[in-house]
Amino acid sequence: MSGAHQEDYEKTLFGFWVYLITDFMLFGSLIAVYIVLDTNTFGGPSAKDLFNIPFALIQSLLMLSVAFASGMGSLKAHERNLRSTLSYFLIAAFISSVFLVRIFQEFGHVQSLGFSWKDSGFLSAYYSLNGIFGLHVILGLIWTVLCLIFVYIKGFHDVSLKRISCLKMFWQFLNIVWVFVFAIVYLLGVC
Amino acid sequence: MGHVYQTWNTSVKRLVAGFILSFFLLFLMYGLVTYNLFSGFTLCFVMMTIAFLQAAVQLFCFLHLGSEKSPFWNTVLFVFMLAIMLIVVVGSIWIMYNLDYHMMMKN
């Protein structure tokens, strides 16, 4: 009985890992596009004019905290500790919503300077990359809330543990993608 | 009901170690740029090395990439994806740079 459950759990996690691999490829393509169009500013602003490195550093630290909190939450879930699991994932949800708000703040900052994604290849690539990243964060947030409600109501059994493990993998995947976005878009952009 | 499904040995130690290492690598990247220690191509190379290092730390410590059982499918799949993405990303940059160069007006 537990053998079948174990196999089901492992298969689900592997399937989710395959999805994350394809998502890595999605972001890889977006980053490739960004690198190619980095200098196509068409007379408009460039990365130097728009991006603020301390801002991006704080984004990176926020994302790292989300990944860590998710890891701890998943650990506590496997120990069947309901309160700790909920706390850690709620912390992750809160920090990622702060992250999300700051991404929109940066979009707003660029727009307040009078530029939009239609103005150049560089801006278009930047908005696409950060926009799709933000979309992933939004979906992760919705998923976290739903998952926590489910775990709170149903307790820990096979389905809950599978979902929590997948959720943890998702946040940690986003963190890895953000490392590259931070290095390529913000750090190398401003140099 | 008490069956633990994890296929790897997670521990708080590994998570905290990953967190501290990543934290340090982030500040290293930030410091390299803020204090202008390198520039140009060297900077790109160092930055990407640190970024890949940080990704490796997170894959190993947070996602437990190398720690699965014998056929190591997760790792194999990831390495395969890396190979493909290397071709796509480096290839795109190379080809577009070449295109740019050949389309430039020759004065």
- Tokens representing A113? 């300077």
Residue type, A37: L
Q: CB pairs under 8 A, 24+ apart, for B83-89?
A: B84/A25, B85/A24, B85/A25, B85/A28, B88/A25, B88/A28, B88/A29, B88/A32, B89/A28, B89/A29, B89/A31, B89/A32, B89/A35
pLDDT tens digits, residue range A14-61? Answer: 999 999 999 999 999 999 999 999 888 888 888 888 898 999 999 999
CA distance B105 to chain A (A): 16
Distance CA B90, CA B15 (A): 32
Residues from chain A contacting residue B63 (CB–CB below 8 Å):
169, 172-173, 176
Say if the Cβ atoms of A14 and B3 lie within 8 Å. Answer: no
Q: How much is the pLDDT for A169?
A: 95
Q: How much is the pLDDT for B50?
A: 94
Please state, in angstroms and as integers, the Cα–Cα distance from residue B21 to each residue in A41, A172, A174, A181, following that order.
Answer: 36, 15, 18, 19
Distance CA A101, CA A73 (A): 23
Residues from chain B contacting residue A61 (CB–CB below 8 Å):
23, 26
pLDDT tens digits, residue range A83-120? Answer: 999 999 999 999 999 999 999 999 999 999 989 888 89
Q: Which residue of B has its CA nearest to A160?
A: B5
- Tokens representing A39? 């200098």
Residues from chain B contacting residue A72 (CB–CB below 8 Å):
12, 15
Distance CA B102, CA A71 (A): 49
Say if the Cβ atoms of B74 and A17 lie within 8 Å. Answer: yes
The closest CB to that of A169, out of B23, B55, B63, belongs to: B63
Average pLDDT over residues A149-172: 90
Can you give the pTM of this predicted structure? 0.92
Q: pLDDT tens digits, chain B, 107 residues: what are they?
A: 344 556 556 688 889 999 999 999 999 999 988 888 888 888 889 999 999 999 999 999 998 888 777 788 899 999 999 999 999 999 999 999 899 888 887 76
- A91 CB contacts (<8 Å, ≥6 apart)? A65, A69
Say if the Cβ atoms of A187 and B29 lie within 8 Å. Answer: yes
Distance CA B40, CA A163 (A): 44
Single out the residue of B32, B57, B46, B25 nearest to residue A53, CA to CA. Answer: B32
Residues from chain A contacting residue B30 (CB–CB below 8 Å):
53, 57, 187
Q: How much is the pLDDT for B9?
A: 61
